[in-house]
Structure 1
Amino acid sequence: MILQSIPSPSDSVWELGPLPIRAYALCIILGVVAAIWVGEKRWVARGGKPGQIQDIAIWAIPFGLVGARLYHVISDYHLYFGEGKDPITALYVWRGGLSIWGAIALGALGAFIGARTMGLRFTPILDSLAPGVLLAQAFGRWGNYFNQELFGKPTDKPWGLEIDVANRPTGYLDHDTFHPTFLYECVWNLGIFGILIWADAKFKLGFGRVMALYVAGYTLGRGWIEYIRIDDVQMDDVFGLRLNVWTSIILFVLSVAYFIWSTKRRPGREESVFLDPAAESVDDAAGESADAAPAPTRDADRGADGGVDPEQSDR
């Protein structure tokens, strides 16, 4: 049987006793796990130590979540503030409403703070994390699918997404199927993920250029995907374009400019991922010496004549 459209899930929350399991939250969690796993492998390959990306994530994830929600609430404040609105719902993250722009901005700030406290260079961390972030975004978009949100204009294509009447914007109540923008962005993110892995392996990119390629590649796709979305945004139609389209354009230009500037100014990769490679070498050597040192024996406690050293007899 050939599907004439993509059905939407009937449920986005499953009750496990008194505990509600939300599909949106699961998608976000799976994305975070994937990002850390990929970032950890890439970081170790760059010369970092196992576990350091997980430590960075302790800083980056809380900052990123706050930034993601903050950007959404600011750009869609009419959903939470004003007559008949309940401001406390601005804190209901599980209902959806996380912006990637805010997540990247404050998440990067958290990663920077974590990197400085650990004595690590920031740009290798960005380059290690960038592909994994795309995987996280690909997983996260499926949360929009379960919530029946952020879809595109009506379409009669076989891949049109069925949306319940209760979730359709005013003016589109008579349409049944819409562009599945969640799927478009998921596929696009996976494609850019593959390009980043290939480009980094072939050209040995460094000094934040993998992150720059990530921003350029993602915004290139996000711009046209955003253009076909029909969800209401308070800051809509800025000089004829949605706010997020303008954001994509600006970030694309800035990331390409940085990539070109960085390539000319600092070709190649960082020689070390540590701020103080000399100190790191000393620490490694000290650790290896401690591991290689033989354990003390009872003979070491004996005097020159073979007797027990009085100073050691009370051990």
Structure 2
Amino acid sequence: MEHLIAFPSIGLEMTLNRVAFSLFGKDIYWYGIIICAGFILAALYVNARVREFGFTSDHLVDCLILCVPVGIVCARLYYVAFEWEYYSQNPAEIIAIWHGGIAIYGAVIGVVAALFVYSRVKKLSFAGLCDLAAFGLLIGQCIGRWGNFVNGEAHGGPTGLPWGMSIDGADPVHPTFFYESLWNLIGFIALHFYAKKRKFPGEIALLYVAWYGLGRAWIEGLRTDSLYIGSLRVSQVLAAVSCLAAIALLVRQYRRIRVRKAFYQPSEAEKAEE
């Protein structure tokens, strides 16, 4: 349960136990605690901004009740689907999520699907809900990746860079969990300040997809635990495709806005309000 994590070039070394404590004979893992912390912070942040996007705290609670279980199930199903050779021989392990094995893209797909259904039922803006979800995902991913650090997983291949991370005495590797956490933090800060200037509903969500996809496509190429289809890294391909698609949609929307402004002449009353 313990890992010796070291950063040899900077003389830092620590022993980390995956188990935080035991409760009634059940081990409580740091990974779960860190994920929960990320979820709580994401919910608090989104709740603080929910009215800016035209929603209420009640809408947020409804979305959380729906999206959290759907996201967890889809994250697991995504992982199982691409490791089917193992799980087809060990079907009892499919539901053993506590043994590890979830994928963030599965969670994202599940959350988006759940938000779409909720928006149709409640007659709310699907694009606006996705904007808010983008903030929550960035916060959750930024913090959640540190659970991988405690577990000594989600790292890259060998590296001679000064920040190379050694696990249990092995040669230093890329701390890709940190790369992704930092990438998400930068994205969150940028979108936090940009949000008040958003030009159309769904813009924040598309910027998130483009930003995360760009970073994940690069970082995934460094990892040693990728899910594959043949020789292709599934998440790397999905990240690159989603990034390009988001950029294309953003460019189209920005062009439409420019054209609309070029041909639209505001009335005197509208000019006075400005």
Tell me which interval the TM-score lies in, with the shorter structure as reference length.
Answer: 0.7 to 0.9
- Asked if residue 129 in structure 1 is aligned to residue 123 in structure 2, the reply is no
Cα distance in 2 for partners of 1:58, 1:4 equals 45
Match for residue 228 of structure 1? Answer: 222
**Count of residue pairs the alignment pairs up:** 251
Cα deviation per residue 1:251-280 (whole Å; 9 max; x = unaligned)? 01111111122333468xxxxxxxxxxxxx
Distance in 2 (alpha carbons) for counterparts of 1:99 and 1:11: 19
> Using a 3 Å threshold, how does the CA distance of structure 1 residues 92 and 211 change in structure 2: closer, same or farther?
same
Is the 8 Å Cα contact of residues 43 and 125 (structure 1) preserved in structure 2?
Answer: no
Say whether residues 1:185 and 2:192 are aligned partners.
no
1:237 corresponding residue in structure 2: 231
Q: Which has the higher strand share?
A: 2
Letter of the 2:75 counterpart: A
Q: Do the aligned residues in 2 keep the contact of 1:162 with 1:177 (CA within 8 Å)?
A: yes
User: Is residue 40 of structure 2 the alignment partner of residue 33 of structure 1?
Assistant: yes
Amino acid at match of 2:125: R
Shift of 1:4: 2.9
Equivalent pair of 2:155/2:223 in contact (CA under 8 Å): yes
Question: Unpaired segments of 5 or more residues in structure 2?
Answer: 1-7, 259-274
Aligned residues of 1:40 and 1:54 also touching (Cα < 8 A)? no
One of 85, 100, 107 as aligned partner of 1:103: 107
Please give the alpha-carbon distance, in whole angstroms, between the structure 2 residues aligned to 1:33 and 1:5: 30
Aligned residue in 2 for 1:42: 49
Counterpart CA distance in 2 for 1:30 and 1:159 is 26
Deviation of the 1:213 alpha carbon: 0.3
Instruction: Provide the TM-score with structure 1 as the length reference.
Output: 0.73
Asked if residue 51 in structure 1 is aligned to residue 45 in structure 2, the reply is no
Shift of 1:9: 1.6
Report the Cα offset of residue 10 of structure 1.
3.2
2:72 to 61, 65, 78: 65
Partners of 2:92 and 2:77 lie apart in 1 by 13
Deviation at 1:11, TM superposition (A): 3.0
Q: Whose helix fraction is larger, Structure 1's or Structure 2's? A: 2
Change over 3 Å in CA distance of 1:8–1:97 after alignment to 2? farther
1:135-174 matches, cutoff 5 A: 135-164=139-168
Tell me what 1:256 maps to: 247
CA distance in 1, matches of 2:162, 2:103: 29
1:236 offset after TM fit, Å?
5.3
Given the two structures, how large is their TM-score scaled by the length of structure 2?
0.83
Conserved? CA contact 2:76–2:103, under 8 Å: yes
